Amino acid sequence: MNSMTGFGAASASLKRCSLRVEIGGVNRKQTEIAISLPRAWAELETRVREVVAGPISRGRVNVSISLQSSSGGAIPLQLHAEKLADLRMHLLSLAASLEQPVQPTLDALIRLGIIAEESEADISAEEAWTAIQPALEEALQKFCSLRATEGENMKRDLLARIDTLRQLRSEIKAQAATVPAHYREMLLKRLQEADLPFPADDERIIKEIALFADRCDVSEELTRLGSHLDQFCRLCDSAEPVGRTLDFLCQEIFRELNTTGSKANDAALAQLVVTAKTELEKIREQVQNVE
């Protein structure tokens, strides 16, 4: 079992620079991989995605690849003198054709990337990949390792809560067995209070109690509930991604508890069901973190 959250980072040297790779994950129902690369290396996004997607089956993964100077600061910007000269010539030509001055603002030039850009443009994508790939694989290994560690912690918590549900199931089963007898006593008491003294072995009394016992019987629900809890434990021991399956199984467990509560017709039994639902909600919240 793996968690969907985690973090991994690695660094590598590249010419006079230091390359930094960071990978972080958060919860998502589907697989999402967001990659941030220097603009000059945009063509490497597909390769990065292929490497990261290998061990990931669920969750949002953010991959950041950046450059720093060897001293740890930001990469210095380079002035595009030739681009500015070309721009000046084009603007003069445009101004002449329009017969009015054309004056681009500084922020517009920056957005166009005409004034300056980071010096990774001096490093080709292929050259950068030789440093990115091993750093990416190292960061990914750390990321997956942390996800596995968190997954083990989640597994222990989930199994402990499943044990709590098993105990509550046993208590519900024991309480459910007393409901028909309690109803019988209550029915006879009401008849006596209404001055209708029916004998306890009256056929009508027996039939009414039998119908009530059939309506409030929860043995099938408890049998299915026990089966779901066993399956949950088996899935927790699986090496495959089980988050979606566990989420679906939680829905089935809730359905059995809900039906049991609806058929309970007993205050003590209803309280046990509410307690079990509360514990199940904690399980469902935890399952949202499982890959």
The answer to whether 179 and 269 are in contact (CB under 8 A) is yes
Where a domain ends, among 64, 89, 114?
A: 114
pTM for this structure? Answer: 0.68
**Is 275 among the domain residues?**
yes
Residues 144 and 158 in one domain: no
pLDDT at residue number 249: 93
Give yes or no for residue 193 having a pLDDT over 70. Answer: no
pLDDT at 163: 94
| Judgement on whether residues 163 and 281 belong to the same structural domain of the protein | yes
Domain match, 270 and 218 both: yes
pLDDT band for position 260 (cuts 50, 70, 90): confident
Residue 116 pLDDT? 47
Residue 48 near residue 63 (C-beta atoms within 8 A)? yes
If asked whether residues 130 and 199 sit together in one domain, one would say no
The pLDDT of residue 267 is 79
133 and 256 belong to one structural domain: no
- Domain endpoint, select from 98, 114, 130: 114
Residue 110, pLDDT above cutoff 60: no
- The structural domain count of the chain equals 3
Res 99: pLDDT: 75
**45-66: average pLDDT:** 91
pLDDT of 164 over the 90 cut = yes
Percentage of the chain exceeding pLDDT 70 = 74
> In this structure, are 129 and 94 located in the same domain?
no
The range of the structural domain enclosing residue 257 comes to 150-287
**Does residue 21 form part of some domain?**
yes
The CATH number for 55's domain is 3.30.230.10
Task: Give me the mean pLDDT over the 193-222 stretch.
Answer: 63
Residue 117, strand partner residues: 78
Same domain, 187 and 213: yes
Residue where a domain terminates, one of 89, 114, 139: 114
Residue 143 and residue 16 in one domain: yes
Kindly state whether residues 156 and 211 are assigned to the same domain: yes
Tell me, yes or no, whether 276 lies in a domain: yes
**Does 156 lie in the same domain as 276?**
yes
pLDDT at 18 over 60: yes
What average pLDDT does this structure show over 93-102?
Answer: 77
Residues 164, 38 share a domain: no
Mean pLDDT, rounded, for 254-259: 90
What CA–CA distance (Å, rounded) separates 200 from 27?
60
Domain membership flag for residue 85: yes
User: According to the model, what pLDDT value does residue 70 have?
Assistant: 57
> Is the model's pLDDT at 144 over the cut of 80?
yes
Out of 100-104, 123-127, 162-166, the most confident range is 162-166
Q: Which range (200-209, 235-244, 252-261) has the least confidence?
A: 200-209
Mean pLDDT for all residues in the chain: 80
pLDDT value of position 228: 93
Q: Is residue 35 part of a domain?
A: yes
Q: Is residue 259 part of a domain?
A: yes
Q: Mean pLDDT throughout 101-122?
A: 59
Any domain includes 1? no
- Whether 184 is in a domain gets the answer yes
- 166 and 257 co-located in one domain: yes
What pLDDT score was predicted for residue 181? Answer: 58
